[in-house]
Structure 1
Amino acid sequence: MSYVIWVEFDVAAENLGRFMMLVKENAAESVRSETGCQRFDVLVPVEGEGAVALYEIYDSEAAFRDHLASPHFIEFDALTAPLVRHKTVRSYACHQNSK
């Protein structure tokens, strides 16, 4: 069973460019360096601005905790905190993977 994280960010328009650069770097580094990270997608709505969502899949909750303790995440979190108006994080258990 995989561990899925869904994160929604509300980012002010003037901060969106910097935020997107940082979140894409964090996503790429997570997939590249974390063995327990299966997938890390950065999503933006087709219409509208300021909303960014993350869809992350980990091998386990422990793998996600490792992600939170990684140097690249700690740096990302510190750099983006002032750019974000609101953030919601939800976790899910994935019982079936599709191809």
Structure 2
Amino acid sequence: MTSTGRPLVRLAELEIDPAHLEAYKVLLAREIEASVEKEPGVLMLYALSVRGSPGQIRIVEIYADQDAYEAHLRSPHFLEYKSATAGMVRSLRLIETDPIMLGGRPG
């Protein structure tokens, strides 16, 4: 797929094995930090848990465009994260979105 020049926004819904939750959160934080620091096309990654259900993780992902997302999937830090967390993730659902309005404050 080629770049559209529009931001790509997706939501990831994960269920993490409770026995591995703390280790998963460490690996996720490391992956997010590396992605934001090393990949200019990664505009934002926010990881959240559903209140009262800490193993239900939601990640809001915003990339500059489709090409940036595809580059992220090939990055060494993302591939390391996927490999290290494979046995921790009980389920993963990726939700494609059509952004209506993206706003925020600089910094």
What is the TM-score of this pair, normalised by structure 2?
A: 0.87
**1:94 offset after TM fit, Å?**
2.0
1:39 paired to 2:25: no
CA distance in 2, matches of 1:59, 1:51: 26
Aligned CA RMSD, in angstroms, stands at 1.1
Residue 64 (structure 2) aligned to one of 35, 59, 73: 59
Aligned equivalent of 1:92:
97
Counterpart in the other structure of 1:18: 23
Q: Which moved more, 1:56-65 or 1:89-98?
A: 89-98
Q: Which residue of 1 aligns with 2:9?
A: 4
Q: As a proportion of its length, which structure holds more helix?
A: 1
Q: 1:29 aligns with which of 28, 34, 44?
A: 34
Compare CA radii of gyration and give the structure with the larger one.
2
CA contact (8 A) 1:43 1:53 kept: yes
- In structure 2, distance between residues paired with 1:43 and 1:24: 11
Name the count of aligned residue pairs: 99
2:3 corresponds in structure 1 to: none
AA paired with 2:32? A
Segments of structure 2 that go 5 or more residues without pairing to the other structure are: 1-5
In structure 2, C-alpha distance between the alignment counterparts of 1:93 and 1:27, rounded to whole Å:
23
1:78 is matched with 83
Cα distance, 1:46 vs. partner? 1.9
Give the gaps of 5 or more residues in structure 1.
none
Structure-2 separation of matches of 1:74 and 1:50: 22
Query: Contact (CA 8 Å) 1:8, 1:53: kept in 2 or not?
Result: yes
**Structure 2 letter corresponding to 1:29:** A
